[in-house]
């Protein structure tokens, strides 16, 4: 009887232990079951896209999002012969009727050109091609070639009347520096229309969120270290878009010089503004995308001035000498990574 | 009573084993499981904590990517792509290693750390 009692007691203890161990896992599953996580990934718009939605029955919303991305890609691809941008670029100077989405994106692109004093320019495609950034057959064009090519650029020569676009015969446009941002806006809208309350859209590092994380927590977004591997910091965000531009994204090295894909529309050469990466955060993906490229071109001082005259974005700029500059609106949301060598962060104030 | 002692010892051993097992399960760091996929199709699912050092070669339309696993870490060693972005990404951390031309992705199965990486 004694033996039975002891073994019984020991077994009871074991059972208690095992259930408590299992329970801590169960609790976690309960949390995730009530906010189920579903995601879909694909190669689209020249990048790797992942859309993650939280909540029950998000499968239909995700396939709708996927369809949306595919359809936008087919409108805006420069190389797809059936795309609207291809039609505009091969119009022989004749007016082309485009979809509402494309017209709105073009209209926004023209506005951004004005707002950035020309730093944002969708007409640089012929120059980008000469550098090989569109074909990956990299070369350094000489000054004469660049001067000639720059004559074939200029957003002021593009006209848009409703949904009718007119691009002169020798010019070509490319929405690569804004299309993913606008796609983020439209996909976020689409997810919301399909009842999704919490989602994260990652278009090759262009981040756009819907709502907060399940339970009201903020999203934590790592920021890529432009000098090497890993992240240099983390940004806590709610519903918004985050887009970065950096010299590290696409570049080639020739004769010891590094040439990156962000061109200065004035010189037709890789922008040498002293900036190595820019992060822009705001409500609209299209704005963040356009600004990240143009602030990179403008340099720290002009970027800070543009920010002081605006109220629709915040930014983090890393300069090539390792300086980190952050605007005051997101000062409290940013945490510098411990293993990043530069400990000083300067806050840009109004 | 001898039997009772034996029972206690046996139970104690099971008890300790159970604790160790629980601790392993709870503390096992997430983000050790890595998937290698091509154009949406998963080719490999690997547990980095258990993999020995080796290389994996993946082919896409005649072009090759060589993936290296070393000391429990994974990266793209060689690639037949024109941009070499995948190689330049370095060792796998928060952001997935993507070879766009060859539609190859190396990523952690269970996300660790940040929700996403702005890049
Ligand atoms: Zn590659």
For the stretch A255-267, pLDDT in tens is 999 999 999 999 9
For residue B116, which of A251, A44, A213, A46 has the smallest C-alpha distance? A213
Q: Specify the higher pLDDT residue, B23 or A107.
A: A107
Residues of B with CB below 8 A from A219's CB?
Answer: 115-116
Q: Is residue A151 part of a domain?
A: yes
pLDDT values of chain B reduced to their tens digit, one per residue, 119 residues:
667 787 777 777 777 777 666 565 555 555 589 999 998 788 999 999 999 999 999 999 889 999 999 999 999 999 998 788 899 888 998 778 999 888 899 988 865 567 888 88
- Mean pLDDT (whole number) for A220-228: 88
Report the alpha-carbon distance of residue A98 to residue A86 in Å, rounded.
11
pLDDT confidence of residue B24 = 59
Task: Quick: pLDDT tens for A108-128.
Answer: 999 999 999 999 999 999 999
| Ranges of H-type helices in A309-349 | none
Give the distance from residue A6's alpha carbon to the nearest chain B alpha carbon, in angstroms. Answer: 7
Q: Tell me whether residue A111 is in a domain.
A: yes
Residue contact A244–B18, C-beta within 8 A: no
- Asked if A316 and A346 count as a contact pair (C-beta separation under 8 A), the reply is no
CB contact under 8 A, B8 and A48: no
Residue A121: which CATH number? 1.10.3980.10
What residues contact residue A152 under an 8 Å CB cut-off, 6+ apart? A126, A170, A171, A172
d(CA B11, CA B13): 5
* Residue A7 pLDDT class (50, 70, 90 cuts): low
Question: Could you give the maximum distance between any two Cα atoms of chain B, in Å?
Answer: 77
- How far apart (Å, rounded) are the C-alpha atoms in residues A212 and A215? 8
**How close A52 comes to chain B (CA, Å)?**
10
- CA dist., res. A48 & res. B86, Å (int): 12
In the predicted structure, residue A37 carries a pLDDT above the cut 60:
yes
Is A264 a member of any domain? Answer: no
Which of A157-161, A339-343, B97-101 is the most confident on average? Answer: A157-161
Extended beta strands in A150-224, E state: 159-161, 164-166, 198-203, 206-210, 219-224
CA–CA gap between residue B49 and residue B28 (Å, rounded): 10
What's the domain count of chain A? 1
- Residues spanned by the domain of A98: 79-166
Residue A214 lies in a domain: no
Rounded to an integer, the average pLDDT of A144-165 is 96
Q: What is the pLDDT of residues A198-212, one digit of tens each?
A: 999 999 999 999 999
Of residues B39, B95, B116, nearest to A200 (C-beta): B116
Is ipTM beyond 0.95?
no
Is the Cβ–Cβ distance between A292 and A180 less than 8 Å?
A: no
Contact assessment for residue A348 and residue A326, using Cβ atoms and an 8 Å cutoff: yes
In a domain, A102, yes or no: yes
Where would I find the beta strands (DSSP E) of A204-274? Answer: 206-210, 219-224, 231-237, 241-246, 251-254, 257-260, 263-264, 269-270
């Amino acid at each position: 009887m004694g033996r039975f009692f002891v073994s019984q007691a020991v077994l009871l203890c074991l059972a208690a232990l095992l259930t408590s161990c299992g329970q801590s896992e169960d609790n976690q599953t309960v949390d995730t079951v009530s906010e189920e996580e579903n995601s879909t990934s694909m190669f689209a718009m020249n990048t790797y896209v992942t859309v993650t939605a939280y909540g029950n029955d998000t499968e239909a919303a995700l396939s709708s999002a996927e369809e949306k991305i595919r359809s936008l890609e087919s409108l805006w691809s420069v190389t797809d012969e059936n795309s609207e941008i291809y039609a505009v670029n091969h119009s022989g100077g004749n007016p082309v009727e485009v979809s509402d989405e494309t017209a709105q994106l073009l209209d926004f692109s023209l506005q951004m050109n004005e707002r950035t004093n020309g730093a944002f320019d969708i007409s640089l495609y012929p120059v980008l091609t000469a550098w090989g950034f569109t074909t990956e057959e990299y070369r350094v064009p000489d000054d004469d070639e660049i001067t000639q090519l720059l004559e074939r650029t200029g957003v002021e020569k593009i006209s848009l009347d409703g949904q009718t676009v007119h691009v002169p015969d020798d010019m070509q446009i490319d929405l690569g520096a804004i299309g993913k941002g606008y796609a983020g806006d439209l996909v976020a809208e689409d997810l919301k229309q399909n009842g999704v309350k919490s989602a994260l859209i990652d278009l090759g590092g262009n981040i756009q969120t819907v709502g907060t994380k399940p339970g009201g927590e903020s999203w934590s977004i790592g920021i890529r270290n432009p000098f090497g591997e890993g992240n240099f910091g983390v940004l806590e965000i709610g519903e918004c878009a985050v887009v970065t531009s950096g010299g590290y994204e696409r570049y080639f090295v020739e004769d010891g010089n590094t040439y990156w894909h962000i061109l200065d529309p004035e010189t037709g050469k890789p922008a040498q503004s002293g900036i190595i990466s820019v992060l822009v955060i705001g409500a609209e993906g299209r704005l963040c995308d356009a600004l990240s490229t143009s602030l990179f071109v403008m340099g720290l001082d002009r970027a800070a001035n543009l920010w002081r005259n605006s109220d629709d974005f915040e930014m983090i700029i890393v300069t090539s000498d390792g300086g980190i500059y952050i605007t005051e609106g997101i000062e409290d949301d940013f945490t510098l990574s411990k293993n990043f060598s530069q400990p000083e962060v300067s806050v840009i104030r109004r | 009573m001898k039997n009772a002692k034996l029972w206690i010892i046996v139970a104690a051993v099971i008890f300790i084993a159970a604790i160790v097992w629980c601790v392993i399960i709870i503390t096992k760091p997430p983000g050790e499981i890595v998937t290698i996929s091509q154009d949406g199709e998963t080719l490999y699912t690997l547990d980095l904590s258990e993999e020995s050092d080796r290389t994996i070669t993946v082919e896409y339309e005649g072009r090759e990517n060589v993936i290296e696993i070393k000391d429990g870490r994974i990266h793209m060693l060689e690639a037949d792509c024109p941009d070499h972005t995948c190689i330049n990404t370095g060792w796998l951390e928060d952001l997935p290693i993507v070879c766009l031309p060859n539609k190859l992705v190396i990523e952690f199965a269970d996300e660790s750390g940040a929700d996403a990486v702005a890049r």
